[in-house]
Homo-oligomer: A and B are copies of this chain.
């Protein structure tokens, strides 16, 4: 039998049975370890060709014979940035496209909070005050630009369309058309897109190309009152000019589930910026049944591909970074 090391906390007994059934049918033996059994997992890993985990430390301890590291997270920048984590330079790396639905629900929530001016209403109500109606905006009949058209961007686009959005533009490296977007553009056309973007949603991986892609100059290209939502990686935004644009009232508000660094230090200028909604990197929450089910399902599907020598669905280009 070929061995698989599974080092995960979220698995139910049903998930384990599903993995075991798939693995054994394909000639693999899975070995399960909860996160408090790091040393045992490390020992077992020495005889494994597959690792299903999210642990740079465990990966670093893997032998050169490890052939596939299935990362259960979506963001794999820690692994792409540091090739020394892989003893085997040809080790396959996959990430998980299981977070689109829950992150899309987060985006719908924070977009509505910004459009409906919840930061201002909440400030009034916190002091047990009352307020008359402030001018709000709606998802219906509104226009959205989504940076990143992968699992997350596509799930966001789908929900905005269902809620009556008038136009959804998607930008990606290739600019390839994707279902659910009214318009698909290459990211090279970002500068000409921003002046028409009243609602910007960022769902980009962290790569050298996406670092500070929303920089001071591009923040200045957004129209007055624009809203910015980031659920990708904190590195995508130059944070000081964002805080300045919010405080100057140039932007309408921002919702950041990711920052640089995380946690954000207590004296960081983003704290207390005007109309900002910060959440502590929780949009891709792993506590939902359907997210966990899909994580396992995607692993099992790619195990079938791996066993058959077919390309893996979740394959990451380690040089490209996603």
Contact = CB atoms under 8 A, between A and B. Distances in A.
Interface of A: 101-102, 105-106, 108-109, 112-113, 116, 118, 121-122, 124-125, 128-141, 159, 162-164, 262-264, 266, 271, 278-280, 282, 285-290
Copies in the complex: 2
A129 B113 CA distance: 21
A129 B95 CA distance: 29
Nearest to A288: B138
Given A108-B163, A121-B280, A159-B163, 4 more contacts: A125-B279, A128-B266, A136-B282, A159-B162
A222 B76 CA distance: 42
A290 B130 CA distance: 25
Nearest to A164: B101
Contact of A279 (B121, B279, B286): B121
A246 to B, nearest CB: 15
A266 B125 CA distance: 10
Contacts of A282: 116, 121, 131, 133-134, 136
A116 B105 contact: yes
Contacts of A134: 282, 287
Given A130-B262, A163-B105, A140 B290 contact: yes
A198 B133 CA distance: 30
